[in-house]
Amino acid sequence: MKILVVGAGGREHTFVWKIAQSPRVTRLYAAPGNAGMAQQAQCVDIASEDINGLLAFAQQEGIDLTLIGPENPLADGIVDRFQENGLTIFGPTQAAAQIEADKDFALELMHKYGIPTGDYRSFTDPEAARACVREWDRPLYLKASGLAMGKGAIPCPTPDAAFQAIEKVMVDRVFGAAGDRVVLMEWLEGEEASISGFTDGEHIVYLVPSQDHKTIGEGDTGPNTGGMGAYAPVPVVTPGLQQEIYDRIMQPTVQALAAEGRPYRGILYGGIILTADGPKVIEFNCRLGDPEAQVVLPLLKTDLVDLLTGVCEGNLKDVSVEIDNRAATCVVIASGGYPGDYEKGYPISGVNRAEASGDVIPFHAGTAESNGRFVTSGGRILGVTALGDNIPASIRRAYQAVEKIRFKDMYCRKDIGHRALARLNAGA
């Protein structure tokens, strides 16, 4: 098969790395890819958002299956366009991708079908939103209803913070049209976990529960980033809780989307918060998380191409799935200054040495190649993933590998997995 992976980050490198292991693949392409993906795939210089360009390429090359990594092309309807042209593509249609691209739609759907989530109200008028803040008078999250590059959720512990967020999103329109509508959502308390599954619209094949680390600073402090590391499995998600999340959240959501005439095929990601009242949804994504992909895909033993074709052909229940029972940890190495301003173009050393230490995969996010060397080309540079017999072993191995990598002003959090370690220590 000829396969095309669309995207440029660490999640997409993980897809490419995993697909490259399949005996079913004859040619593998990445658009636009990065220097890491270029080791396993042929990179073609077409942007992820360039639907016409990607369609023309897939037609010319006779691509058998296209996989979409990021949310934007899905929300823009790339799957519908490919299907109208008779091409096989992995991901939800535009109507189904609204589960991520329209937070008001997602919350309305959950409330209609009794899927556990927070209270919310939705507004297009700033004065009406302010009135709701006064009436609620409790901590909340203000969210741009549309896609805002993962930055659209603003914590508002006080009414004043909420008034400022309304000003920023609805009046100053910092997220543009994504903020035409905003939702005010109840602030839910608890530990978070990411639950992802492949679905053909009926059956779901789950990946291992994982946990992201969104803030730049240790101890979960400072501004949010695209994600500074992840680990899987997540000890706080006990087998009982996991089953509850499948039965009360994931399966009912897939059924609800089908009932609404928006059958969902692709990967459904639930951002779940484990509250004192049980697991609740804070958001759904219409694709795999980044950096969650970097830990959950290496723990999948099954040929990924079998799962992808099972989804596209609607016979996922016939695919047998095997999960590695080890643990994985991914430590993201970023450019100094990220998520604010940073320099690019610094040479990176030690990537091959890190990989040679065994059970370590340095996934590339923001790298380019210059004169035969890897150089930095973004905010998040590498996601160094290590496998181990348990979480502490995978964390140790990931940090040993990180030690071998060098570039000017590199930064990583030193506490990836701290919640799991605290829980394991408490139980010991």
Minimum separation from the CB atom of position 224 to ligand AMP (A): 7
- What is the rounded distance in angstroms from the CA atom of residue 330 to the CA atom of residue 19? 19
Dump the DSSP string for 326-356.
SEEEEEEEEETTTTS------B-B-HHHHHH
How many other C-beta atoms lie within 10 A of the C-beta of residue 77?
16
Please count the residues of this chain forming the interface with ligand AMP, following the rule CB under 6 A: 14
Chosen from ligand AMP, ligand GLY, none, partner binding at 185 (C-beta under 5 to 8 Å by type): ligand AMP
- What is the rounded distance in angstroms from the CA atom of residue 52 to the CA atom of residue 72? 14
Closest CA to 202 of 241, 257, 244, 279: 257
Minimum separation from the CB atom of position 328 to ligand GLY (A): 15
Specify the residue, 285 or 367, whose C-beta has the smaller distance to ligand AMP.
285
Minimum separation from the CB atom of position 9 to ligand GLY (A): 10
Specify the residue, 100 or 200, whose C-beta has the smaller distance to ligand GLY.
100
b/e burial code for range 301-317 (CB count within 10 A of at least 16 → b): ebbbbbbbbbbbeeebe
Specify the residue, 46 or 296, whose C-beta has the smaller distance to ligand GLY.
296
**Region 196-225 residues binding ligand AMP, contact defined as CB under 6 A:** 214
Q: Is 141 in the site for ligand AMP (CB under 6 A)?
A: yes
Specify the residue, 118 or 146, whose C-beta has the smaller distance to ligand AMP.
118
Specify the residue, 153 or 402, whose C-beta has the smaller distance to ligand GLY.
153
- What is the rounded distance in angstroms from the CA atom of residue 66 to the CA atom of residue 77? 14
List the x/- string, 274-303, binding to ligand AMP by CB under 6 A: --------xx--------------------
- What is the rounded distance in angstroms from the CA atom of residue 387 to the CA atom of residue 231? 10
Specify the residue, 231 or 374, whose C-beta has the smaller distance to ligand GLY.
231
Binding site for ligand GLY (CB under 6 A): 150, 212, 227, 285, 289-290, 292
Minimum separation from the CB atom of position 312 to ligand AMP (A): 27
Minimum separation from the CB atom of position 68 to ligand AMP (A): 19
Specify the residue, 126 or 150, whose C-beta has the smaller distance to ligand AMP.
150
With CB under 6 A as the contact rule, the residue among 65, 75, 153, 365 that binds ligand AMP is 153
Q: In Å, what is the CA distance from 326 to each residue of 236, 318, 323, 391, 425?
A: 16, 25, 9, 8, 18
Minimum separation from the CB atom of position 272 to ligand GLY (A): 12
Residues 6+ apart with CB under 8 A from 208: 232, 233, 295, 296, 299, 323
Q: Name beta bridge partners: 185.
A: 120, 141
Minimum separation from the CB atom of position 318 to ligand AMP (A): 33
Chosen from ligand GLY, ligand AMP, none, partner binding at 118 (C-beta under 5 to 8 Å by type): ligand AMP
With CB under 6 A as the contact rule, the residue among 118, 298, 339, 383 that binds ligand AMP is 118
Chosen from ligand GLY, ligand AMP, none, partner binding at 116 (C-beta under 5 to 8 Å by type): none
Q: What's the CA angle centered on 250, arms 72 and 143, to 5 degrees?
A: 45
Specify the residue, 263 or 270, whose C-beta has the smaller distance to ligand AMP.
270
- Retrieve residue 351's tokens: 């990537």
- What is the rounded distance in angstroms from the CA atom of residue 28 to the CA atom of residue 38? 10
E-state strands within 276-321 = 278-285
Please report, as ranges, the residues that interact with ligand AMP according to CB under 6 A.
118, 141, 150, 152-153, 185-188, 192, 214, 271, 282-283
